[in-house]
Structure 1
Amino acid sequence: MKIKKTLSIGLATIITLTTLVGCGTRKTDEKASTSNSNQKIQEVKIGATSGPYSDMVNKAIKPLLEKKGYKISIVEFTDYIRPNHALNDKEIDANLFQHKIYMDKFAKENNMDLTALVQVPTAPMGLYSDKIKDINKIQDKAEVTLPNDPSNAARAYILLSEAGLIKLKKDIDPLKASQKDIIENPKHLQFTELEAAQLARSLSSSTISAVPGNFALAANFDLTTALKLEKMTDNNRNNIVVKSENKDSKLSKDLISIVKSKEFDEIINTDFKGFDKPLY
């Protein structure tokens, strides 16, 4: 009886150990399976206006993010309205096309909560013409076309003032300058405000057009041919923008990291010559 009892205990012990080992193996397998599922590639959609900023996403941001394990899709827009709505509606994860002043105003007017993550190299607004090569040779009552959104219109009126074509009121807020602030217009220039995407084409009928840099490059303009380029500031450089709820996400941190990287700067120096670069 003692022998049978001992054998029974031994068999029970072996069975118990086998069961424990089996459970341990299953738990390890389950943990590995869970770990592998957590390492799935994150698919990200980045919106940008067609032209230099979609190019910047494609040539600089996309490859550097994909090195970090993301799968990037680019969504192109041809206006300044839809990109923020798409971001707010979570159709895209980030966008690149706007400066912070425009973003703040648009977000407030449309009840959105957006955050400018990081400034990127930006093409300046310029005064372009197919009809004159010297800005001082502009004819009386010449037509000047410029953006119709308030923040970019303000940039255009400031640029026209810096070019000596008009004089604005003293002490005006440069971010809110408008046609109403003109106190001297010696050439009696006629101003027509248009959607930014139409400005390059408007040169067929206007004498001068104030074209934002991204639309100028989208129309294959050479920045160096502008009659005058604006002086860039932190207020009018473009930013990568996300919904505020995602400003501390891993994607947001990775976006900031790559834009400030040496690799990103090298791509900008090669493929985006003439862009004004912020100091990080």
Structure 2
Amino acid sequence: MKKIILLGVTLLSIAFLAACGEEEESADASGKETIRFGATAGPYSDMVTKAIAPLLEEKGYEVTNKEFTDYVQPNKALANGDLDANLFQHKIYLESFAKENNLDLSEVIIVPTAPMGIYSNTYEDIGSIEEGSTMGVPNDPTNLARALIVLEDEGLVEVDDSVDPLRASLNDITKNKKNIEFVEVEAGQLPRLVDSEDLSMVPGNYALAAGMDLLNALALEDMPDDYRNRVAVKTEDLDAQFVKDIKEVVESEEFEKIINEEFKGFGKPKWMKE
């Protein structure tokens, strides 16, 4: 009888240890229990908290989101391990910042992004723009090049086709069909120029920060994916399970539904249109 009892205890112990081992293996397979996101205050922080975090929480993660007010600290915090992922930047900025600061960061997936738009309190549509109108445009090279792509798409200017459109400047305009007078200012000031100039070209994040409705623009940018924001992580984490899960939730129908409801006017990346 004692041998039978001892055998039973032994079997129970083995079963208990096996169960513990399975739980431990499952926890390891998930990679992380908490995902620490970082995003700039505004629409992309909202995207994390309203669209990404809830779907990750359904997968069992706890998600935190730290807001930043500049474009330097989110990448530094990611690189030094204070964050697991961030969302605030386009490809050109990510690659140039990583190279200049010797950081090993990589993109995970492109997300819907607030487009640049032409706004006006003077005109109701592109066709009514008059000769000699004034227009505020960004004075930094990246956003100015984007602005010129929009103006060319709307038939207002022609740009030297021998110039890389992602690096074009006002000097590369070969035809200004309405003789628009361009007023170059810092991108963050462009919402104010909607009142002081005939038109203003406002990047989406600054338009939203100023309480503007993207759908009120005379025209919205059909931006190249290189200018759309993306989730970034440390390159060494690209194959981690938590990164695969971030990508999976962003690719889900539930994520797109939230975007359609909460982020109206945001331009979708190519992969979402296919």
The alignment's TM-score, normalised by the length of structure 2, stands at: 0.80
Matches within 5 A, 1:247-262: 247-262=238-253
Aligned residue among 205, 211, 216 for 1:214: 205
Q: What's 2:109 paired with?
A: 118
Other structure's SS at 2:174 match: strand
The aligned residue for residue 165 of structure 2 is 174
| Unaligned 5+ runs, structure 1 | 1-12
User: How far did 1:119 drift?
Assistant: 1.6
Within a 5 Å distance, the mapping from 1:1-280 to structure 2 comes to 25=13, 28=16, 32=20, 35=23, 39=27, 42-135=33-126, 136-137=128-129, 140=132, 142-146=134-138, 148=140, 150-185=141-176, 187=179, 189-194=181-186, 196-278=187-269, 279-280=271-272
Q: Quick one: which amino acid aligns to residue 145 of structure 1?
A: V
Q: Cα deviations across residues 174-210 of structure 1 (Å, max 9, x unaligned)?
A: 111123323344636233241x444324434444332
Aligned mates of 2:197, 2:137 — CA distance in 1: 7
Q: CA deviation at 1:252?
A: 0.9
Computed over aligned residues only, the root mean square deviation of the Cα atoms, in angstroms, reads 3.4
Following TM superposition, by how much is the alpha carbon of 1:72 offset from its aligned partner in structure 2, in angstroms?
1.0
What amino acid does structure 2 have at the position aligned with 1:159? V
In the alignment of these two chains, the number of paired residues is: 265
Is the alpha carbon distance of 1:88 and 1:56 closer, same or farther for their aligned partners in structure 2, counting shifts above 3 Å?
Answer: same
Cα distance change of structure 1 residues 31 and 71 upon mapping to structure 2, 3 Å threshold? same
Q: What displacement does 1:21 show?
A: 5.3
Secondary structure in structure 2 of the residue aligned to 1:85: helix
User: What is the identity, as a one-letter code, of the residue corresponding to 2:167?
Assistant: K
What residue in structure 2 maps to residue 7 of structure 1? none
* Greater mean alpha carbon deviation, residues 232-241 or residues 178-187: 178-187
Q: C-alpha distance in 1, partners of 2:139/2:61?
A: 36
Tell me the secondary structure at the aligned position of residue 209 of structure 1.
Answer: strand
Give the Cα separation in 2 of the matches to 1:168 and 1:207.
22
TM superposition score normalised by structure 1: 0.78
CA distance in 2, matches of 1:198, 1:46: 28
Moved more, 26-35 or 212-221: 26-35
Match of 1:156, as an amino acid? A
The structural deviation recorded for 1:76 is 2.0
Structure 2 alignment gaps of length 5 or more: none
Q: Separation in 2 of the partners of 1:134 and 1:277? A: 23
